[in-house]
């Protein structure tokens, strides 16, 4: 690979004992020369902004948008963690949240639970606590992501004090070497300033640059990818583009995983920020449109199933609708759960479950004599991973 210095930064020769290597030191933001806002970037930016606006309208019109956001958060947490190698799925997480952990549940599901807890914590900090987008917040989020899971011994909540690298069994065979700890700290200070800079810049361009710069700096010994992807949604909410956290990009990044890494690599290898931003903006556009479509399908599903329940007796229908409302936030449950949500006796709750099975709203997920588990499968299927998107760019 013919690597040269470029507008993204410089390669700095480092001698550590008997080992010599070149670490990349990113230039400070904002960029110079600045982003070339060609016709393609302008078009993608316009389409992404418009798609986010459409998503915001739909989520505001949903009678209960919280269940939509919660399910998308579960999906994002699953996919972002899978990019890092976890095996647990959306259903595994929903089962774990319902207390249904068995021998078939992958042991890495707590990594996804941590991601959910971390993003909820971050959202609370910036919205309810009015906390700024700061390095301290990133450390707090990182600590929660690595709590008692793989990577828990790699200084959770602390920026690294030693050299790390990406790819290869050793630093000699690495595909990329981030800045030294000393250069990293200066770059992080600049990144914090850039996140809070009031100078005019399209918000999505700013977020795209922040993400690429964070991944270039790679400030943690582990968990950089998850923190970096999580930051995108936090920034969308922080800058006011999303009133509710309804947009997550990990599905797009996972669908085009090789290109994701290639575009980020091209930033530090060639200074190709424009190529990265085109990929990023297209992702925002496509994911926002897909999320809008899913929200509309959820509303249609709810309306349809309420119509199904209206054919039951008045009292049964009231209890069934109360249960249906809970299924959108907890799509997996036992008869005992149904009893708790509706206030019915166990026997009556069991009868209610049978009625919902007959109406093809619930279906058995785990078959056993006692404590059977049921799922609102049609709803959960709306959050299945997309294998591909209809790309707008070649």
Average pLDDT over residues 320-348: 92
The pLDDT, as a whole number, for residue 65 is 79
The count of other CB atoms within 10 Å of the CB of residue 69 is 22
- Cα Rg of the chain (Å, integer): 23
Q: What is the pLDDT of residues 354-392, one digit of tens each?
A: 999 999 999 998 766 677 889 999 998 888 766 566 676
Kindly list the structural domains of the chain, giving each domain's residue range(s) and its CATH number in brackets, ordered by start: 9-294 (1.10.3290.10)
Pick from 391, 387, 389, 357: nearest CA to 373: 357
What count of residues does the chain have? 394
Q: What is the pLDDT of residues 99-143, one digit of tens each?
A: 777 776 777 888 888 898 999 999 999 988 888 899 999 999 999
Average pLDDT over residues 161-176: 93
Q: What's the mean pLDDT when you consider all of the chain?
A: 90
Q: What is the pLDDT of residues 343-352, one digit of tens each?
A: 999 999 999 9
- From CA 354, how far away is CA 212, in angstroms rounded? 51
How large is the greatest C-alpha to C-alpha distance in the chain, in angstroms? 81
More confident: 3 or 61:
61
The pLDDT, as a whole number, for residue 140 is 96
Percent of the chain predicted with pLDDT > 90: 68
- From CA 338, how far away is CA 324, in angstroms rounded? 10
Of 11-25, 97-111, 245-259, 353-367, minimum mean pLDDT range: 97-111
Average pLDDT over residues 11-38: 94
1 confidence band (pLDDT: 50, 70, 90):
very low
Pick from 152, 389, 201: nearest CA to 285: 389
Q: What is the pLDDT of residues 187-205, one digit of tens each?
A: 999 999 999 999 999 999 9
The pLDDT, as a whole number, for residue 2 is 47
pTM of the model as a whole:
0.91
Are the beta carbons of 73 and 245 closer than 8 angstroms?
yes
């Amino acid at each position: 690979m013919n690597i040269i210095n470029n507008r993204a930064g410089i390669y700095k020769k480092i001698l550590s004992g008997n080992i010599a290597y070149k670490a990349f030191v990113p230039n400070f933001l904002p960029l110079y020369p600045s982003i070339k806002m060609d016709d393609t970037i302008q078009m993608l930016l316009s389409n992404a902004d418009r798609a986010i606006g459409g998503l915001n309208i739909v989520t505001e019109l949903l009678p209960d948008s919280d269940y939509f956001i919660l399910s998308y958060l579960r999906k994002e947490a699953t996919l972002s963690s899978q990019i890092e190698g976890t095996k647990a799925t959306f259903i595994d997480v929903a089962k774990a949240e319902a207390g249904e952990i068995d021998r078939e549940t992958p042991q890495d599901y707590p990594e996804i639970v941590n991601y959910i807890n971390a993003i909820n914590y971050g959202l609370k900090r910036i919205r309810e606590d009015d906390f700024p987008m700061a390095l301290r917040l990133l450390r707090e989020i990182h600590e929660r992501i690595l709590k008692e899971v793989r990577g828990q011994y790699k200084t959770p909540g602390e920026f690294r004090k030693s050299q790390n690298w990406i790819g290869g069994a050793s630093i000699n065979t690495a595909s990329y070497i981030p800045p030294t700890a000393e250069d990293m700290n200066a770059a992080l200070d600049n990144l914090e300033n850039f996140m809070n800079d009031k100078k005019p810049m399209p918000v999505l361009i700013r977020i795209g640059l922040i993400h690429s710069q964070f991944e270039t700096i790679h400030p943690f010994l582990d968990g950089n990818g998850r923190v970096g992807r999580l930051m995108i949604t936090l920034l969308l909410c922080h800058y006011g583009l999303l009133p509710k956290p309804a947009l997550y990009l990990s599905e797009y990044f996972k669908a085009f995983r090789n290109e994701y890494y290639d575009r980020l690599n091209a930033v530090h290898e060639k200074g190709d920020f424009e190529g990265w931003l085109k990929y990023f903006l297209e992702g925002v556009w496509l994911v926002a449109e897909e999320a809008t479509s899913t929200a509309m399908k959820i509303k249609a599903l709810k309306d349809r199933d309420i119509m199904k329940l209206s054919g039951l007796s008045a009292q049964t229908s009231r209890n069934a609708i109360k249960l249906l409302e809970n299924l959108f936030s907890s799509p997996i449950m036992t008869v005992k759960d149904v009893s708790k949500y509706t206030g019915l006796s166990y026997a009556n709750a069991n009868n209610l479950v049978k009625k919902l099975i007959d109406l093809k709203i619930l279906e058995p997920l785990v078959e056993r004599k006692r404590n059977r588990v049921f799922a609102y499968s049609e709803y959960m299927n709306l959050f299945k991973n997309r294998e591909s998107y209809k790309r707008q760019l070649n």
